[in-house]
Amino acid sequence: MKNMIIFDFDGTISNSVDIVYRVYEKLATEYGFKHFTHEEIHELKMLSIHERLKKHHVSIFQLPKLARKTRKIVSELIEETYPFEGIKDLLELLKEKGLILSIVSSNSKKNIESFIRNHGLIEFDYIYGKASFFGKERLIRKLLKKEKDAKAIYVGDELRDIVSAKEVPIDIISVTWGFDDITLLEAEEPTYITTSIEGLKDLLLNYAFQSNH
């Protein structure tokens, strides 16, 4: 049986966390949203998507437009984003092991491919972008249909990743170096959770695909 790892992008592979404040400031200025301090934005990591929208006074009906604008701003800042330390080596190792490597993200495929080129990352087998902010299950299912015989697991950093994975359903490894706080992730009970790249490597190579758990 083939094994496939499906990665989220922002906050999992790309350290986009560092540019979140700048992206939000641009959106706040253009759309008249409330301005938050760095500390307040950090506190938002403890909240769900719906709670964040309420805090921002943003309607769900504004999301499609905001998503397009966010991707445009990110494309302008893509040169200033970098992979999390150790992720490049991990991806190369997984590729050497013959695993199918894919990305399902809310970011655009164009931004993701630009980032991959900029940092000399491995070539992914599939890249699906522009996933809904409220769920990635449609694109995950589409990918699973492409590789019907593969055993797959998702790797992501947000609460909504866990919700989407359970909806499919598919196992998920939640990583804690991204956008959502560990307490938020733990409360949603992902299949696995890890606080380090080394821990992620151990799960993917020695546990997630090699045990009967």
What pLDDT does 211 receive? 46
Co-location of 163 and 75 in the same domain = no
Write the pLDDT tens digit of every residue in 62-115.
Answer: 767 777 777 787 777 888 899 999 999 999 999 999 999 999 998 999 999 999
Co-location of 71 and 7 in the same domain = no
Structure token pair of residue 38: 């760095």
Task: Report, as an integer, the average pLDDT of 130-137.
Answer: 83
What pLDDT does 213 receive? 42
Co-location of 164 and 186 in the same domain = yes
Which residues is 10 bridged to in the sheet? 14
* Residue 146: pLDDT over 60: yes
Co-location of 166 and 145 in the same domain = yes
Query: How many whole angstroms separate alpha carbon 27 and alpha carbon 191?
Result: 34
Kindly state whether residue 110 falls inside one of the protein's structural domains. Answer: yes
**Residue percentage of the chain with pLDDT more than 90:** 56
Which residues is 102 bridged to in the sheet? 6, 126
What pLDDT does 61 receive? 62
The whole domain housing 161 covers: 2-15+83-207
Co-location of 28 and 49 in the same domain = yes
Q: How many helices (H) and strands (E) would you count in the chain?
A: 10, 6
Co-location of 25 and 6 in the same domain = no
Closest CA to 158 of 133, 129, 130, 127: 133
Query: How many whole angstroms separate alpha carbon 26 and alpha carbon 32?
Result: 10
Query: In this structure, what CATH number is given to the domain that contains residue 164?
Result: 3.40.50.1000
Mean pLDDT of the chain, nearest integer: 86
Kindly state whether residue 96 falls inside one of the protein's structural domains. Answer: yes
Co-location of 10 and 24 in the same domain = no
Co-location of 199 and 181 in the same domain = yes
Co-location of 62 and 106 in the same domain = no
